[in-house]
């Protein structure tokens, strides 16, 4: 049975993440929003501390390397492991700054894929590296099965050709997890992921995109032209990398990381709601609890409504993380949490700007930045529309070929 309070053993971790968000992220948040593509060197000071926590099974960043780690448990025992700790920590860090969270060294989405399906040799070679994930292409966005980047085997090397866009930390990461097809005629069953180290001949950084939000995080376009990597860099064991299990195996990563994106949305929405309450209090407007919701002013009613929506999203997210820790299939709940939290997060940050008026629209307040940052959380790792499609398939028992 899931309990709704934060587990006692995780409270110190949450407190540390909160302190980092307030003491490190918030003071430099606006600086790196303005200085897009400049690496935040302040984050290097945090790397050793977070590495120590990760080694003990504690906080992970956006990649959540511990999220897929199997936790040993006795029959009937309830576990709060890597998924729960990561979601709770990410929520606090996103309260500080989503862009800085996404560019923390060693915390890329590729790290989650490595943790999910890498073999022992790959864990030894790449487990301590910062790994980005390269999935999206100009002609393959939400439909990952439409990938056209190819990998062909020549002797003891894979040769990769294609282009990837929207690669978070594509310039800064040590290694890129590249999704490519070994045989385009076979569809999604032929899609595999490959470990390509930064600086490998044939992989080129084409450009860094300028973005509406999360500007502290670099977003790269990468081109692959006869890029050769060792045969051993096909991600996963021979079983997981088989034609029938390769694509499904890596896609399982999203069941763990989507609740983490939901956690980011909850964090930034909470930041905006807290700041809005402070601004409204300065105008002598405070939500009143216990009476009729229709008795207050418009701003009061809106704050109460946003609080309810945020709490619903938070509980959905905790449930999805808890299920993953306890090895309960959570694909439905992962998509529900991501869809709900991302939609709510974007709505709350925009409403906070609206209710704050001119204050919310200017650079003197972080409200306008949070509104820009929150939009990406409704897009990456599966758009709102894709999440609703996944939810519908799960509820109706339909395959992707039956409901598109």
Q: Which of 92, 302, 309, 381 is catalytic?
A: 381
Average pLDDT across the chain, whole number: 87
Question: Over 90: is that where the pLDDT of 291 sits?
Answer: no
Q: What is the pTM of this model?
A: 0.89
Q: Which of helix, strand or coil describes residue 206? A: strand
pLDDT for the residue 284: 86
Highest-scoring range by mean pLDDT, 57-66, 150-159, 178-187: 150-159
The region, left, alpha or beta by phi > 0 then psi within -120 to 50, assigned to residue 169 is left
Q: Which of helix, strand or coil describes residue 42? A: helix
Question: Over 60: is that where the pLDDT of 342 sits?
Answer: yes
pLDDT for the residue 270: 98
pLDDT for the residue 403: 87
pLDDT for the residue 247: 65
Question: Over 90: is that where the pLDDT of 68 sits?
Answer: no
* pLDDT, mean of residues 259-285: 95
Report yes or no: 214 and 101 within 8 Å, Cβ to Cβ.
Answer: no
pLDDT for the residue 51: 59
Question: Over 60: is that where the pLDDT of 65 sits?
Answer: no
pLDDT for the residue 234: 94
Domains and CATH numbers, the chain: 8-114 (1.10.540), 131-242 (2.40.110.10), 250-396 (1.20.140.10)
pLDDT for the residue 244: 47
Residue 342's nearest CA partner among 285, 257, 280 is: 257
The region, left, alpha or beta by phi > 0 then psi within -120 to 50, assigned to residue 157 is beta
381 belongs to the catalytic site: yes
pLDDT for the residue 250: 61
pLDDT for the residue 61: 46
Query: 31-35, 39-43, 93-97, 237-241: which range is least confident on average?
Result: 237-241
DSSP string over 73-127: --TT-----HHHHHHHHHHHHHHH-HHHHHT-TT--HHHHHHHHH--HHHHHHHT
Kindly report, residue by residue over 157-208, the tens digit of the pLDDT: 999 999 999 999 999 999 999 999 998 888 777 888 999 999 999 999 999 9
pLDDT for the residue 248: 65
CB-count burial class (<10 Å; 0-12, 13-18, 19+) for 155: exposed
Confidence bin at 4 (pLDDT 50/70/90): confident
| Helix, strand, coil percentages in the chain from 3-state DSSP, rounded to 5 | 55, 15, 35
* pLDDT, mean of residues 141-151: 83
Question: Over 70: is that where the pLDDT of 52 sits?
Answer: no
CB-count burial class (<10 Å; 0-12, 13-18, 19+) for 339: buried
Confidence bin at 249 (pLDDT 50/70/90): low
Separation CA 254–CA 163 (nearest Å): 22
pLDDT for the residue 239: 53
Question: Over 50: is that where the pLDDT of 402 sits?
Answer: yes
pLDDT for the residue 127: 86
């Amino acid at each position: 049975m899931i309990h709704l309070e934060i587990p006692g053993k995780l409270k110190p971790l949450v407190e540390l993440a909160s302190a980092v968000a307030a003491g490190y992220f918030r003071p430099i948040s606006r600086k790196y929003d303005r200085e897009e593509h400049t690496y935040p060197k302040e984050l290097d000071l945090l790397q050793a501390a977070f590495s120590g926590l990760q080694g003990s099974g504690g906080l992970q960043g956006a990649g959540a390397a511990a999220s897929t780690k199997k936790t040993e448990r006795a029959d009937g025992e309830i576990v709060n492991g890597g998924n729960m700790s990561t979601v709770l920590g990410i929520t606090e860090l996103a309260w500080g700054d989503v862009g800085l969270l996404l560019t923390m060294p060693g915390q890329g989405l590729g790290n989650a894929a490595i943790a999910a399906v890498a073999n022992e040799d790959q864990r030894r070679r790449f487990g301590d590296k910062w790994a980005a994930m390269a999935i999206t292409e100009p002609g393959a966005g939400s439909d990952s099965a439409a990938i056209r980047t190819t990998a062909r085997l020549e002797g003891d090397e894979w040769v990769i050709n294609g282009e990837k866009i929207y690669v978070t930390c594509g310039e800064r990461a040590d290694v890129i997890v590249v999704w490519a097809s070994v045989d385009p005629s076979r569809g999604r069953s032929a899609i595999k992921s490959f470990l390509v180290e930064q600086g490998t001949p044939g992989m080129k950084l084409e450009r860094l995109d300028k973005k509406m939000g999360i500007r502290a995080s670099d977003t790269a376009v990468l081109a692959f032209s006869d890029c050769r990597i060792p045969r051993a860099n096909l991600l996963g064991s021979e079983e997981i990398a088989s034609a029938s299990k390769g694509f499904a195996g890596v896609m399982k990563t999203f069941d763990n990381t989507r609740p983490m994106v939901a956690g980011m949305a909850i964090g930034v929405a909470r930041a905006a709601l807290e700041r809005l309450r402070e601004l409204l209090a300065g105008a002598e407007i405070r939500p009143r609890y216990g009476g009729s919701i229709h008795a207050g002013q418009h701003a009061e009613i809106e704050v109460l409504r946003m609080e309810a929506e945020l709490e619903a999203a938070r509980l959905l997210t905790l449930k999805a993380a808890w299920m993953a820790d306890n090895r309960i299939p959570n694909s439905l709940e992962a998509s529900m949490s991501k869809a709900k939290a991302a939609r709510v997060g974007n709505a709350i940050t925009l409403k906070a700007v609206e209710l704050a008026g001119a204050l919310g629209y200017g650079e003197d307040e972080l409200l306008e930045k949070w509104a820009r940052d929150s939009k990406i959380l409704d897009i990456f790792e599966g758009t709102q529309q894709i999440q609703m499609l996944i939810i519908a398939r799960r509820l109706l028992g339909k395959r992707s070929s039956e409901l598109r």
